[in-house]
Structure 1
Amino acid sequence: MRHMAIRLENVGIAVRDLEAAISFFTDLGLTVIGRDTVSGEWTDTAVGLDGNHARIAMLQTPDGRGRLELFEYIHPEAIETEPTLPNEIGMHRVAFAVDDIDVALAAAAKHGCRPLRGVANYRDIYKLTYLRGPSGILVMLAEELKKG
């Protein structure tokens, strides 16, 4: 069986406030590499929503390998939902490896975002935590302790 080439392009996250989300993720170290406002038949078709109209921003990690596409809906109106719990089925968090978890947590705290419970130590390999980012997004931060 022949396999096609595949790679992860980005993770898309709908947010309540695009500028607040951009500020949070750029403070963590991502860079905005593009912004746009999209609408029209092509977006209706691609996304599957009539009248799809959104402001978007593409952000990238410093190594150039990870990307987030953040979007704020203009139309149809965004639907508020309860923040996802860690044990709910479906997509619900984005994870970042960081060089210094304390620096990352200080950046997150500037946005009122703190660990759900605390920072855990996984077998002296990682320090990691989950926190609520903008729009209730679950964000995992992990610092590798044993560099191999």
Structure 2
Amino acid sequence: MAIKLENVGIAVENLDAAIAFFTDLGLTVLGRDTVSGEWTDTAVGLDGNHANIAMLQTPDGHGRLELFEYIHPEAIATSPTLPNEIGMHRVAFSVDDIDEALAVAARHGCHPLRGVANYQDVYKLTYVRGPSGIIVMLAEDLTKS
């Protein structure tokens, strides 16, 4: 059986703010829609499922994020995920220039959780808290310089 990662879905509080953050980092919007109806109830497993969605893609064409803002049922706010909690908690991106990526993130009020680390002179990397509390890992490959 062949398998391929299609996208990572992330529920957000404010779709426009999340789109602005990720497009400023370099992703492009492939499309936006509002979805509802029996098919979404069945696919997602929520009665009355109704959401605004956007599909974004990385510049290399391989990675996609599906962002969704719930209209119904009402979105449930949770405490921001911590890096050591079980379950999905971050999305990671390779960047050419981590300082430039951090400057972009800062314009959105998003800053490193602690700082920028150097992993064995191979990667400079950090976690930032993005929109809606999403943890976003940014990593610069130092071997490409």
TM-score, with normalisation over the residues of structure 2?
0.99
Deviations 1:55-93 (A, max 9, x none): 000000000000000000000000000000000000000
Aligned-pair identity (%): 85
| Residues 1:10 and 2:14 aligned together | no
Q: Secondary structure at the match of 1:43?
A: helix
CA RMSD, 1 decimal: 0.8
Where has structure 1 moved over 6 Å in runs of 4 or more? none
Q: Which residue of 2 aligns with 1:87?
A: 84
Q: Which residue of 1 aligns with 2:21?
A: 24
The offset of 1:106, in angstroms, is 0.5
Amino acid of the structure 2 residue aligned with 1:64: G
The size of the alignment, in residue pairs, is: 145
Q: Which residue of 2 aligns with 1:44?
A: 41
Partners in 2 of 1:70 and 1:81 — Cα distance? 17
The offset of 1:147, in angstroms, is 2.3
Q: Which residue of 1 aligns with 2:140?
A: 143
| Residues 1:134 and 2:131 aligned together | yes
Partners in 2 of 1:117 and 1:91 — Cα distance? 20
TM-score, with normalisation over the residues of structure 1?
0.97
Which of the numbers 28, 33, 40 marks the counterpart of 2:30?
Answer: 33
Q: Secondary structure at the match of 2:143?
A: coil
Amino acid of the structure 1 residue aligned with 2:69: E
* Gapped regions of structure 1 (runs ≥ 5): none
Which of the numbers 109, 113, 121 marks the counterpart of 2:110?
Answer: 113
Partners in 1 of 2:2 and 2:100 — Cα distance? 37
Amino acid of the structure 2 residue aligned with 1:5: A
Partners in 1 of 2:112 and 2:92 — Cα distance? 13
Q: Which residue of 2 aligns with 1:78?
A: 75
Deviations 1:5-60 (A, max 9, x none): 10000000000000000000000000000100000000000000000000000000
Q: Which residue of 1 aligns with 2:57?
A: 60
